[in-house]
Structure 1
Amino acid sequence: MIRRRTAATVLLAAPLIAATIQPSAQAQHPQYHPRPTTYVVSTTPGDTPEGIEVTRNGTIYVTSVGTGAVYRGTVRNPTLKPFLPAGSDGLTSATGVHVDHWGRVLVAGASTSKLYMYDARGRLLAIRPAAEGSFLNDFTFTKDAVYVTDSAHNQIWRASLTRDGIGRLKPWLTRDKILPKPYFLNGIVNDGRNLLVGEQGQNVTYRVDLRTKAVSTVEITGANGILSGDGYLLEGRRLYAVYNAGGGKYVTRLAFLNVDSTQAHVLEDSLPAATNSTPTTVARDRNRLLWVNSQLDAAPGTPPYTVSVVPGLS
């Protein structure tokens, strides 16, 4: 688009030129340090990271599906440190991790079939078991509950959540109530009225009404009608999904939801992840996205295990 040159444009030209020759922020502030683009989670063989949470104050939590360890760090430091040692309280495998409204750290115990709750100092507050043989993968908070995907039984568990603690995990939506039948439920988020749940076996995203439990599939336009993923991130009406595009290619896919989350239009994909890095989940750090390089396609992978900036998408 060609813009006409106006008198105002001429008057603004000098200040704009002056602005371009000002010293950079780094030169003006010697203490300024850019945030790392890669974070070392662990150098322990077999740790295999999976879940990630980045809080508003820049704290990073990353789980290990291989050992159950949970690591913690800051977006300003390239190295994370142990928050929970491997096997703590029977936590021998860990996937989803999120901090709730009251600052407590919840961890999905994967094949342990349990959901764990800790305080910010790493002290155990509660363990909530699901059915034996469950694989608790990821979870999302509403104002009064937590909803957890079970990738083994392909159902959703629910527990009440208040300032005082967490209730018992109970089956909330079982596989027989979900069509098409799910084969691997994984990422889950909510918009306050609906759950959005990724089903990787059939590459669909379910929409589940929180009030009625009515299930439908989100209608997808663009990207050959495919939107599913491992980790999901919902920001307003922008839905990000870490998507296995096949052939060892992983991207973060961005879609825009309509008002009632019944439809989503795929806007763009990130650049592909590095070969064999196998990103699993994604989190927001200010103006950029971070994802976990789990190396699951080459498990147990080769240390160091890392988190890095999602390329080509923010």
Structure 2
Amino acid sequence: MAPPQSSPVRHISRRRLLTTSAATAGALLVGSSAATASATGDTWPDVIPLPNGFRPEGITIGGGPYAYLGSLGDGSIYRADLRTGQGGIISAGPGTPSVGLKLDDRGRLFVAARGQGARVVDARTGGIIASYTLTTKTPTFANDVFLTPSAAWFTDSFQPALYALPLGRDGRLPDPDEAVTVTLSGDWTQAPGEAVNANGITRTPDGKALLVVQSGAGGLHRVDPRTGATKLVDLGDAAPLTNGDGLLLLGRRLYVVQNRQNAIDVFKLAADGRSGIFEGRLTDADFDVPTTVAAHRNRLYLPNARFTTTPTPDTTYAIVSVKR
């Protein structure tokens, strides 16, 4: 395999790139509510409608009870109030897709933009703060993103690589030419052409490596962020994670969305992420090809991408919540 490409910021500590801060981890779990009855969100809606024709894929939730979703159609960003189900477009799309996205503790949305690389959106104003070309190789499909305090990591479903946007200690965004490419090797075998390979991404429980699901092959890989060397995670007798999509790690529990199976498989991982035990499968009658997952309090929230339904301007979409 070709060695990882270099960049002016390649010297930055990969340990620091991976370590998740308390603010980042806490954003998944901590919210605010004045009413005791809604402390666990039990009175909140189970299904939250999205605009007709929106075509959601990614979802992210910050410290407050708000979910942010990107459109595969025009790239618009929608914000939904988890308490009421109400919401609206906060950022008009540039006409190109928004796929996976994550919100940081500075109110910035890091968006995987399929063939257009990545962009960063101000969640308060909706303005685009920065845009990045992650690779000049084709085809390319920036699919999902995971944040650490020092980097935003992106998967590419069409190339055997991960991309990192290193962040300054004060959260400073990198210059356009400072994206780092890490080529995947080891157990990774790239399916050719436009088969969906790398998809969802998170970290291992101990924070020393990354976890990436390979959708078509159905494997979960532990990735060394310094070298790109991968090792298949030993999940025992669990069925392959075919159509594996979004990943969510809470403590040592990993939630893996399997989109066309309308299911979430749940694993208890070893601290180093090298192995895991299958704990069960979550399903819901309202699932219609869910793609990604975010957590707020005792609930998981997933957008229905409805990939088996031909999209039209009138096609309905929704977020579905399930208890975890």
- TM-score normalised to structure 2 length: 0.77
Letter in 1 for 2:49: V
Q: Contact between 1:39 and 1:80, CA under 8 Å: does it hold in 2? A: no
Q: Contact between 1:63 and 1:71, CA under 8 Å: does it hold in 2? A: yes
Q: CA deviation at 1:273?
A: 4.9
CA distance in 2, matches of 1:130, 1:233: 23
Q: CA deviation at 1:171?
A: 4.4
Change (3 A) 1:121 1:262: same
CA distance in 1, matches of 2:294, 2:123: 21
**1:186 has 2:190 as partner:** no
Change (3 A) 1:196 1:227: farther
Partner of 1:165: 173
Partner of 1:146: 152
Q: CA deviation at 1:99?
A: 0.9
Q: Per residue, is there more strand in 1 or in 2? A: 1
Change (3 A) 1:122 1:262: same
- More displaced 10-residue stretch of structure 1: 110-119 or 49-58: 110-119
CA distance in 2, matches of 1:282, 1:42: 19
Partner of 2:56: 49
User: How many correspondences in the alignment?
Assistant: 274
CA distance in 2, matches of 1:290, 1:119: 19
Q: CA deviation at 1:111?
A: 2.5
Residues 242-301 of structure 1 show CA distances to partners (whole Å, capped at 9, x for unaligned) of 014xxx5320111010121100111000125547x1110011021011111011121316
Partner of 1:68: 75
Partner of 1:6: none
**In the alignment, which of 254, 274, 284 is matched to residue 295 of structure 2?**
284
CA distance in 2, matches of 1:101, 1:178: 34
Return 5+ residue gaps in structure 2 as ranges: 1-35, 192-196
Residues 59-99 of structure 1 show CA distances to partners (whole Å, capped at 9, x for unaligned) of 11011112211101211121320011132xxx510111111
CA distance in 2, matches of 1:127, 1:158: 14
DSSP 3-state at the match of 2:239: helix
Residues 152-183 of structure 1 show CA distances to partners (whole Å, capped at 9, x for unaligned) of 223111111132223445343224x2533133
**In the alignment, which of 308, 314, 317 is matched to residue 297 of structure 1?**
308
Residues 217-263 of structure 1 show CA distances to partners (whole Å, capped at 9, x for unaligned) of 1011242354872100011110001014xxx5320111010121100
1:111-130 matches, within 5 Å, as 111-130=115-134
Partner of 1:219: 234
**1:79 has 2:86 as partner:** yes
**1:98 has 2:106 as partner:** no
CA distance in 1, matches of 2:104, 2:43: 28
Partner of 1:19: none
- TM-score normalised to structure 1 length: 0.80
Partner of 1:36: 45
Letter in 2 for 1:41: L
Partner of 2:269: 257
**In the alignment, which of 58, 73, 94 is matched to residue 65 of structure 2?**
58
**1:207 has 2:222 as partner:** yes
Q: Contact between 1:241 and 1:253, CA under 8 Å: does it hold in 2? A: yes
DSSP 3-state at the match of 2:84: coil
Letter in 2 for 1:159: L
Change (3 A) 1:167 1:196: farther
Change (3 A) 1:65 1:154: farther
**1:108 has 2:116 as partner:** no
Q: CA deviation at 1:38?
A: 0.9
CA distance in 2, matches of 1:80, 1:119: 13
**1:196 has 2:196 as partner:** no
DSSP 3-state at the match of 1:164: coil
Q: Percent identity?
A: 27
CA distance in 1, matches of 2:188, 2:114: 24
1:269-280 matches, within 5 Å, as 269-274=281-286, 277-280=288-291
Q: Contact between 2:72 and 2:97, CA under 8 Å: does it hold in 1? A: yes
* Structure having the higher Rg: 1
DSSP 3-state at the match of 2:244: coil
CA distance in 1, matches of 2:113, 2:60: 15
Change (3 A) 1:60 1:217: same
Change (3 A) 1:280 1:33: closer
CA distance in 1, matches of 2:249, 2:108: 20
